[in-house]
Structure 1
Amino acid sequence: MKKNHIFYSCLWVITCFITTNIHAEMILHGTRVIYPSDSKEVSLQMTNDGNRPALVQAWLDDGDANSTPDQVSLPFMMTPPVSRVEPNKGQTLRITALPNSAELNQSRESLYWLNVLDIPPKAAGTNAPENFLQLAIRSRIKFIYRPSSLKQDINKAPEQLQWNKLGQQIVIKNPTPFYITITSAFETTNTKKTDLVPKGLMLEPFSEQKISSPNMQIDKIEFITINDYGGRTEHITQLVQ
């Protein structure tokens, strides 16, 4: 008789849709979590859309996707860290800032990542196959700590980006204290649009990034950013030569 082999693999999925699917059953209602520093707590709703119970583990990390919950020490507490979600039922994750969160940089946003791991039940009984692959799927979404001292309008931050053309490159400068996610940046040549950032990019506060642009004739860029609610906003800006 062959011995059953169960392989557990962790996959993480980052998506730009408002709803994130986990194992096609667990659903996160959001693509990012914003924590204003003057809030007592923030929450994220998740729902089990499947027909079986789900065991879910949730934790925050500081950017290392390979870190485990026991290896990360952050000034936030998440409850519940592990939960069982019944079919067609929901669960609310609550994140509370600890007193030492006041030691975080108050002049700019801080970025972390929220992980949700869906652990499928072990196959058992007479219907269990002799050899099967079992996947535990992890989703990581942005968790942004936003100091209340930042009085600028986050919705106007993309308009403050500076786009400078330097030869065959474009330098994008972010002079704001906010993280800005760009999903696309189009240049147009003879009515043909080319996306210069097909994989997207994220600009840290007070940072700059360079992208390639071999077209020497362009003078404007159309770009799309993601807002706090996961929605897409279109912009047009002039290039500074």
Structure 2
Amino acid sequence: MKSLFFLCSTLLLSVATYLFFPCMANAAVSIDGTRIVYPAKASEITIKMMNKGNSPSLMQIWIDRGNPETQPQNSDAPFVITPPIVRIDPKNGQSIRLMFTGEKVPQDRETLFWFNALEIPPVSAEQDKSSLQIAVRSRLKLFYRPAGLAGDAASAPNLVKWQIIPTAKGGYTLRGQNPTPYYVTYSKLNLQSGGQHYDLGNGMIAPLSSEEFSIKGMQSHSKQSQLIYRPMSDYGVGAENKTTVQ
């Protein structure tokens, strides 16, 4: 255990010499899937990674509760990660195992955690030791899904109720009410009202909760408003759909 702590501390110290980007634009290592679901009945799950680059990459894995500033040594998320640090050779894959430790979480809805994978590229002998290196982090949603939840996650985005709400400052917001026990995520939200189109970007609504999305530029709205949306499922981006807005 002491040797592992020393390795983690050394790795974190070395990352301080890199330029850090929380994106995957220049990453050589890809993660299988766009989200991770941990079913409560599973003893463990496996996340697959693949190094598509031409050089080995050192990966550090940790999970946080929603704060992107959480560092591996401060993470208190209820999961055991094996291995938490791994080298992946070029054109090779690696499986990461997650095991839930049994912390008490709500059993009537999903709980959201975040899976972090930090990729540290190698420094070749030809590179100047003072040259800037880039560490790239991928951050994926990790849903803990209790057993016996009503309905199913795939249908949840279609059950959200939408309503245009006037604001105190004279503008409007679009409120989505999620009556399901699942997180619903949208890669596209486009409101059509009064012959106008309003791009609301993407968004997520927590289980049994509501979320409001600002409608920039709306002066009035029609009773025949519609929302064009594209949900994200456990398997990726779903088909485009539309619904009536109150």
Q: Using a 3 Å threshold, how does the CA distance of structure 1 residues 239 and 113 change in structure 2: closer, same or farther? A: same
One-letter amino acid of the counterpart of residue 189, structure 2: A
Note the 1:63-142 alignment, pairs <5 A.
63-98=66-101, 100-101=102-103, 103-124=104-125, 127-129=126-128, 131-142=130-141
Post-superposition shift, 1:228? 0.7
Instruction: Indicate if the aligned counterparts of 2:193 and 2:225 stay in contact, CA closer than 8 A.
Output: no
Tell me, in whole angstroms, the C-alpha distance in 1 between the residues paired with 2:17 and 2:124. Answer: 12
Per the alignment, in what secondary structure is the counterpart of residue 158 of structure 1?
helix
Note the 1:6-85 alignment, pairs <5 A.
7-13=17-23, 21=24, 23-85=26-88
User: Which residue is 1:227 aligned to?
Assistant: 233
Deviates more, 1:47-56 or 1:229-238: 229-238
Tell me, in whole angstroms, the C-alpha distance in 1 between the residues paired with 2:198 and 2:174. Answer: 14
One-letter amino acid of the counterpart of residue 9, structure 1: L
CA RMSD of aligned residues (A): 1.9
Stretches of structure 1 that go unaligned for 5 or more consecutive residues are 1-5, 14-20
Matched, 1:178 2:176: no
Post-superposition shift, 1:27? 1.2
1:164-184 Cα offsets, whole Å, 9 max, x none, are 123333221111111111222
User: Which residue is 1:194 aligned to?
Assistant: 198
Tell me, in whole angstroms, the C-alpha distance in 1 between the residues paired with 2:124 and 2:144. Answer: 40
Instruction: Indicate if the aligned counterparts of 1:56 and 1:116 stay in contact, CA closer than 8 A.
Output: yes
User: Which residue is 1:239 aligned to?
Assistant: 245
Post-superposition shift, 1:68? 0.9
Q: Using a 3 Å threshold, how does the CA distance of structure 1 residues 45 and 183 change in structure 2: closer, same or farther? A: same
Instruction: Indicate if the aligned counterparts of 1:165 and 1:239 stay in contact, CA closer than 8 A.
Output: yes
Stretches of structure 2 that go unaligned for 5 or more consecutive residues are 1-15, 167-171
Per chain length, whose mean CA-contact separation is higher, i.e. which structure has more relative contact order (CA < 8 Å, sep 6+)?
Answer: 1
1:26-67 Cα offsets, whole Å, 9 max, x none, are 111111110000011111111111111111111111111111
Tell me, in whole angstroms, the C-alpha distance in 2 between the residues paired with 1:216 and 1:192. Answer: 9
More strand by share: 1
Q: Using a 3 Å threshold, how does the CA distance of structure 1 residues 130 and 71 change in structure 2: closer, same or farther? A: closer
The sequence identity of aligned pairs, in percent, is 32
Per the alignment, in what secondary structure is the counterpart of residue 154 of structure 2?
helix
1:181-229 Cα offsets, whole Å, 9 max, x none, are 122222235766431x22x111111111222342412422111110011
Per the alignment, in what secondary structure is the counterpart of residue 63 of structure 1?
coil
TM-score after normalising by structure 1: 0.85
Q: Using a 3 Å threshold, how does the CA distance of structure 1 residues 74 and 237 change in structure 2: closer, same or farther? A: same
User: Which residue is 1:149 aligned to?
Assistant: 148
User: Which residue is 1:203 aligned to?
Assistant: 205
One-letter amino acid of the counterpart of residue 111, structure 1: L
TM-score after normalising by structure 2: 0.83
Instruction: Indicate if the aligned counterparts of 1:22 and 1:118 stay in contact, CA closer than 8 A.
Output: no
Q: Using a 3 Å threshold, how does the CA distance of structure 1 residues 39 and 226 change in structure 2: closer, same or farther? A: same
Q: Using a 3 Å threshold, how does the CA distance of structure 1 residues 7 and 75 change in structure 2: closer, same or farther? A: closer
